[in-house]
Structure 1
Amino acid sequence: MQRYLLHTPFSIYHFEAKTWNHPVHKHSYFEIIFILKGSGIHNINGNTFAYTEGDIFLLGPEDFHNFEIDTLTEFCFVRFNDSIQKQIEERDSLWQQVVSTLLYTSSQSRGSIVHDKQDKKKLFGLLAVLEEEYENQHSKYFESIRTSLMQSIMIILARNLFGQAAASPILKDSVEAILVYIKQHIYQPSKLTIEHLADVFNYSPDYISIFFKKHTGESLKQYITKYKMKLIEIRLLYSQLTIGEIADEFGYIDESHFCKQFKKFTGSTPTNFRKVL
């Protein structure tokens, strides 16, 4: 499965399409997808949703998706990585709770996450301002304006997502439920063993591995390692945490073990990775 990368902290991709020319893929970043016109199907993490004008989707790292376009569709993809989140956290401590829940709890079992007409109007209005400012992104004012606009957008998305939570539970026997559980417990290795996951979801260890690979295209162990390593890379890039503090955050028994696993996965030690980037 292809993995798309974002080489800048933030970007906007606005385009029209009659056919979708991308394979099922994952990202190294977060993505808010606005549907400005058109209709079709959006396949996300093994779930299928009809989309139409006004729909808004939120995807995170390791979510996989593609579109099947029925009528000419105008998309706007707002892409960003954790550095945007960190900038907002530094300004607003209350924001930390909103972001951690919104970005690291999967919303994809619910499809489009905004149904309130007034909130849709506000979000598309904020998007228009964001796009206009993005055209002058080298201005010394752009970063501050972008951060404020993104904070407003994310809070409105969070309000809508949280309001749907009770009415739209994730089915326990779906791959989506496993993805949510992994994201919620990524800092607790003991809860992410095949045996523990099989027990939580009432599967045999062999079956849960087969079930997960069938729906995602990769093994449970591979998915968990890649997701964890992506979060660690983000910590190294955009936080001031020491190597030891990051190792402790992700539940490693010691810093040496953490460094060995990181090098095995990336080909670089955490220290060199941070220096190069």
Structure 2
Amino acid sequence: MQQFSLQDTFLIKQFERTGKHQDTDLRSYFQIIFIEEGKGRHFVNEFIVTYTTGDVFLIAPEDKYWFEIDGTTSFCYFQFTESLFSSKMNLPDRSYWLHRIEGIIHSPNQMPGDIITNPYDKALIWHMHNVIIQEYEMGKEFYKHNISNMVSTTLSIIARNILRDIKPVKKTGNKDQHTTIESLLNYIRQHVYDTDLMKISAIADKFNMTSSGISAYFKKKTGDSLHHYILMYKIQLVKYRLINTDFTVSEIAYQLGFTDESHLTRIFKKYNGLTPKQFKKQEEARPLA
């Protein structure tokens, strides 16, 4: 059996730069960038943000970014591939952890900038940063397991800062003046794993609307039906788990609220032209870029 190697999926880099710093390599990995000391401007995709000591950035593989540095900046990069999310990590609760990381990966319209806005979380994530580096450098017994769990915690902290809290709608008698399409989408992303909470009636109750009212509102704002959007989002997560974990189709069906493997297979093939097993086999045979 192939042994899991932490070096295959996780790497730490610490360095100083002046002037302009740009990563020109083609990346297949994520990066958590810690600004240990320094200030300047961070360019990511079409955005420009200022940065200073203590900021933390999350960079996805497809992001184009660079730094314009005032003076000298000390960087620390945590680099990791999606293999870090696989069952090979043997985390205590893989399914729960996948919920968190999938929220990060699939959260649309993520704005660039310092991703940790809560002061408590800011102190906590920097503490995790320090401990992970110590474990990584010392390499003592069980250090791989310890790092795996601490990276899991770090990503969970990032996830709860990215996925904004859903504020309950006050029952004031007015229409859904506090309801926005983004809050609806956030609610779906956070609770898609809970079949009961994904019922139209439950979502309507959450936002103090009728089932027909929230369905019409969603259709007006997105052009898609609420039921179809939830189903397509689940299919997106199915694809992610087929590619990046060794969960069986039956296990994935259970995790995402399908009746059984047969139900998931029928729905998946309807929209993709392949069964989940055929899709997984196709992706495994795809040559690496």
TM-score by length of 1: 0.58
In 1, Cα distance between the equivalents of 2:159 and 2:13?
22
In 2, Cα distance between the equivalents of 1:108 and 1:40?
21
Residue matched to 1:99? 101
Q: CA deviation at 1:152?
A: 1.6
In 2, Cα distance between the equivalents of 1:42 and 1:271?
36
Query: Structure 2 unaligned runs (5+)?
Result: 1-6, 168-180, 190-221, 224-235, 250-263
Q: Which among 267, 272, 278 is matched to residue 252 of structure 1?
A: 272
Structure 1 residues 131, 235: closer, same or farther in 2, change over 3 A?
farther
Structure 1 residues 107, 120: closer, same or farther in 2, change over 3 A?
farther
In 2, Cα distance between the equivalents of 1:250 and 1:81?
31
Q: Is the 1:15–1:75 contact (alpha carbons within 8 Å) kept by the matching residues of 2? A: yes
Residue matched to 1:113? 115
Number of equivalent positions = 204
Structure 1 residues 273, 29: closer, same or farther in 2, change over 3 A?
same
Residue matched to 2:10? 10
Structure 1 residues 107, 117: closer, same or farther in 2, change over 3 A?
farther
The structure whose Rg is larger is 2
Q: Which among 229, 239, 242 is matched to residue 246 of structure 2?
A: 239
Partner SS state of residue 115, structure 1 = coil
Residue matched to 1:216? none
Would you identify which runs of 4 or more consecutive aligned residues in structure 1 move more than 6 Å?
none
Deviations along 1:20-62, one digit per CA (max 9) or x if unpaired, are: 3435665211111110111111111211110100101112221
Residue matched to 2:124? 122
Query: Structure 1 unaligned runs (5+)?
Result: 1-6, 167-171, 185-199, 202-227, 264-268
Residue matched to 1:162? 163
Structure 1 residues 108, 74: closer, same or farther in 2, change over 3 A?
farther
Report the AA paired with residue 119 of structure 2.
K
Residue matched to 1:205? none
Q: CA deviation at 1:85?
A: 1.8
In 1, Cα distance between the equivalents of 2:165 and 2:69?
26
In 1, Cα distance between the equivalents of 2:66 and 2:107?
20
Residue matched to 1:41? 41
Q: CA deviation at 1:240?
A: 5.3
In 2, Cα distance between the equivalents of 1:31 and 1:249?
34
In 2, Cα distance between the equivalents of 1:249 and 1:9?
32
Residue matched to 1:50? 50
In 2, Cα distance between the equivalents of 1:249 and 1:16?
50
TM-score by length of 2: 0.56
In 1, Cα distance between the equivalents of 2:55 and 2:86?
27
Report the AA paired with residue 252 of structure 1.
N
Structure 1 residues 237, 86: closer, same or farther in 2, change over 3 A?
closer
Report the AA paired with residue 107 of structure 2.
T
Report the AA paired with residue 57 of structure 1.
F
Q: CA deviation at 1:159?
A: 2.1
Q: CA deviation at 1:103?
A: 2.6
In 1, Cα distance between the equivalents of 2:38 and 2:269?
43
Residue matched to 2:143? 142
Q: Is the 2:12–2:133 contact (alpha carbons within 8 Å) kept by the matching residues of 1? A: yes
CA RMSD after TM alignment: 4.2
